[in-house]
């Protein structure tokens, strides 16, 4: 068999790390679909209380969307072997992700201080803490992964230009960004 045909067939296959990420994304999507469905069901019960999202959540939305853009640019820089630009963009993505998490904590504190708490009648606020909190855990995992690949990039011990780890990181990061956008729209419309 011709080696170029074998190489092309291998190139078309989905890398195992990407496949594993797609499976994880499907699982996470199912979890959030279940939680938002439970929110809709519970919102039709007596005693349901709504709440208004603090403005800081808009700031965090802008931050996470900007981080998605810098991640996209970092992947492009990596693929074109612009390692200095890649490191800088990866560092910015990490900082934007960390700022997102900080804004989430501030927003949760603002909600708590405006009497949207776990005690008392059930309502949208309690669901928001659970759903947005789970999302924040996934973002924190992404921020840690960003830090690891950033530190590896500045260590410069390997000269491998294997794009798979960077692409997997980018796919995950774009996923948590889009998931947050969905959650914001969901809570604006139904919260």
CATH code: domain 16-190 is 1.20.120.80
- pLDDT, block means (10 residues), the chain with 191 residues: 54 76 90 92 83 92 97 94 92 96 95 81 82 94 94 74 85 95 90 69
135 close to 179: Cβ distance less than 8 angstroms: yes
The residues spanned by each domain of the chain are 16-190
pTM of the predicted protein model: 0.85
Rounded to 5°, the CA angle 169-71-25 comes to: 40
103 close to 58: Cβ distance less than 8 angstroms: no
């Amino acid at each position: 068999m011709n080696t170029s045909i074998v190489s092309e067939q291998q190139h078309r296959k989905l890398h195992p790390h990407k496949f594993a990420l797609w499976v994880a994304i499907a699982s996470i999507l199912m979890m959030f679909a279940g939680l938002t469905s439970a929110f809709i069901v519970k919102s039709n019960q007596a005693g349901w209380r709504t709440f208004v999202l603090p403005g800081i959540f808009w700031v965090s939305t802008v931050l996470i969307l900007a981080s998605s853009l810098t991640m996209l640019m970092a992947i492009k820089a990596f693929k074109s072997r612009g390692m200095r630009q890649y490191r800088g963009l990866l560092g910015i993505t990490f900082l934007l992700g960390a700022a997102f998490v900080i804004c989430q904590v501030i927003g949760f504190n603002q909600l708590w201080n405006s009497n949207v708490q776990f005690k008392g009648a059930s309502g949208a606020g309690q669901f928001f803490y659970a759903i947005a909190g789970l999302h924040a855990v996934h973002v924190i995992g992404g921020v840690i992964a960003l830090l690891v690949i950033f530190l590896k990039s500045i260590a410069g011990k390997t000269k491998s230009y294997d794009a798979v780890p960077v692409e997997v990181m980018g796919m995950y990061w774009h996923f948590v960004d889009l998931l947050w956008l969905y959650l914001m729209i969901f809570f604006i419309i139904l919260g």
